[in-house]
Amino acid sequence: MLTRALVIGATGQIGYELVPALRKLYGVDNVVAGYHSKKPSGVLLEGPVEQVDVSSRESLEAVIKKSDFDEVYNLAALLSAAGEKNPQLAWKVNMIGHYNVLELAREYGFRVFWPSTIAVFGPTTPKYKTPQHTIIEPITMYGITKYAGELLARYYVQKYDLDVRGVRWPGIISSEALPGGGTTDYAVEIFYYAVEGKPYTCYLREDTELPMMYMPDAIKSVIQLMSANKARLKLYVGYNVSAFSFTPRQLVEEIRKYIPGFKVEYKPDFRQAIADSWPKSLDDSVAREEWGWSPDWTFEAMVKDMLVKIARKLGKKLDIEE
């Protein structure tokens, strides 16, 4: 049977790579890339696109009505740093948008993927190997909306028997679309500076350890969770998923193995306090148990692959064996 899917927030860092991955599985014409203020470009234009504002029920329903969607991937959000600049809009997009998708899922019967984040954790959460179930007292609007969103999604699963699934991603590193305003954005930006031969100013302290994941594993987590046997799922949303952790200093040292002269200075800004409130590593045993999660990429392999891809993108020559 053909699956029809809508990806909301398709022009973002993750949507830009999830849309082609889903089109490979379901067929190009069966995956609609939903965009908002940022116009779709590149690979997204190889298939159907629709403008959709997730915070407006009317806008969302107009798109839902046009097609008989089996699945909706709601990636629309204001992330941690962007959310602190405009908390009111973050509430509207992250919370009301999520509610609109769940309400329409109740009426139209589609399955939902909706990601949460390590930003649900706060300063009182244990920092190392943070368990699935632990103290959760987020301090950002982003974290507050995502934790409330996890509870809301689980409510719809219990009350209305909806099929809503999702993970708690750490910082995602990728080479295609640029990140859109998170606290872990440095770990993507830094590669562009390194490859261009420019010095980089990092907005986090050099010893700030955070959990991260390479995009191919993030995409794998979506596809694996969405295709998991429903009977095995207990949690449905907010699964901790983990790959590796590193500090800015460790990332710089790894990049210098390929670009020895790379210069970096550290000038922490408001994002330092956000990063300090997050875990340094995650326990993802519940995801492993319930739907067989495991990552493929190591830190070292990710750094090498990012350098190769960013160099190709910028038309620069680096002496790296592929």
Ligand X SMILES: NC(=O)c1ccc[n+]([C@@H]2O[C@H](COP(=O)([O-])OP(=O)(O)OC[C@H]3O[C@@H](n4cnc5c(N)ncnc54)[C@H](O)[C@@H]3O)[C@@H](O)[C@H]2O)c1
Which CB sits closer to ligand X, 175 or 259?
Answer: 175
- The amino acid occupying position 131 is P
Please select the residue that binds ligand X; options are 125, 184, 221, 245, rule is CB under 6 A: 184
Residues in the interface with ligand X (CB under 6 A) total 30
Residues 6+ away with beta carbon under 8 Å from 305: 175, 214, 297
| Distances, alpha carbon 295 to alpha carbons 155, 191, 245, 298, 308, in Å | 29, 22, 13, 8, 21
Binding status of residue 15 toward ligand X by CB under 6 A: yes
Q: Please, how many CA atoms are within 13 Å of residue 150, restricted to the half-sphere of its CB?
A: 26
Please select the residue that binds ligand X; options are 13, 125, 130, 240, rule is CB under 6 A: 13
Closest CA to 83 of 144, 142, 32: 142
Residues 6+ away with beta carbon under 8 Å from 197: 259, 261
Question: Which listed residue (73, 142, 193, 203) is catalytic?
Answer: 142
Binding status of residue 275 toward ligand X by CB under 6 A: no
Collapse the DSSP code of 13 into the 3-class scheme (helix H, G, I; strand E, B; otherwise coil) and give the result. Answer: coil
- The amino acid occupying position 53 is D
- The amino acid occupying position 126 is P
Please select the residue that binds ligand X; options are 6, 32, 52, 81, rule is CB under 6 A: 52
Please select the residue that binds ligand X; options are 3, 26, 38, 308, rule is CB under 6 A: 38
Only one of the segments 4-12, 131-139, 199-207, 273-281 lies at the binding site for ligand X (rule: CB under 6 A); that segment is 4-12
Binding status of residue 12 toward ligand X by CB under 6 A: yes
- Give the pair of three-digit tokens for residue 51: 């403008």
Only one of the segments 64-72, 179-187, 190-198, 314-322 lies at the binding site for ligand X (rule: CB under 6 A); that segment is 179-187
Only one of the segments 12-20, 62-70, 239-247, 314-322 lies at the binding site for ligand X (rule: CB under 6 A); that segment is 12-20
Binding status of residue 55 toward ligand X by CB under 6 A: yes
Which CB sits closer to ligand X, 8 or 144?
Answer: 8
Tokens 């609609």 correspond to: 32
Binding status of residue 75 toward ligand X by CB under 6 A: yes
Which CB sits closer to ligand X, 96 or 318?
Answer: 96
Only one of the segments 47-55, 150-158, 281-289, 297-305 lies at the binding site for ligand X (rule: CB under 6 A); that segment is 47-55
Binding status of residue 36 toward ligand X by CB under 6 A: yes
Q: Please, how many CA atoms are within 13 Å of residue 247, restricted to the half-sphere of its CB?
A: 10
- The amino acid occupying position 34 is G
Binding status of residue 93 toward ligand X by CB under 6 A: yes
- 264-266 and 200-202 as β-strands: parallel, antiparallel, unpaired? parallel
Annotation marks residue 142 as catalytic: yes
Only one of the segments 30-38, 42-50, 132-140, 224-232 lies at the binding site for ligand X (rule: CB under 6 A); that segment is 30-38
Collapse the DSSP code of 286 into the 3-class scheme (helix H, G, I; strand E, B; otherwise coil) and give the result. Answer: helix
Q: Which residues pair with 74 in a beta bridge?
A: 8
Q: Which residues of 174-207 are buried (b: 16+ CB within 10 A; e: fewer)?
A: bbebebbbbbbbbbbebbbbbbeeeebebbbeee
CA geometry: angle at 28 spanning 26 and 29, to 5°? 95
Which CB sits closer to ligand X, 215 or 255?
Answer: 215
Which CB sits closer to ligand X, 21 or 75?
Answer: 75
Give the contact letters, 201-220, x = binds to ligand X (CB under 6 A), - = no.
--------------------
- Say which DSSP state 34 is in: E
Binding status of residue 88 toward ligand X by CB under 6 A: no
The distance of closest approach from Cβ of residue 74 to ligand X in the complex, given in angstroms and rounded to an integer, is: 7
Residues acting as catalytic residues:
142
- Which residues sit at the interface with ligand X, rule CB under 6 A? 8-9, 11-15, 36-38, 52-55, 75-77, 79, 93, 97, 115, 117, 169, 171-172, 179-182, 184
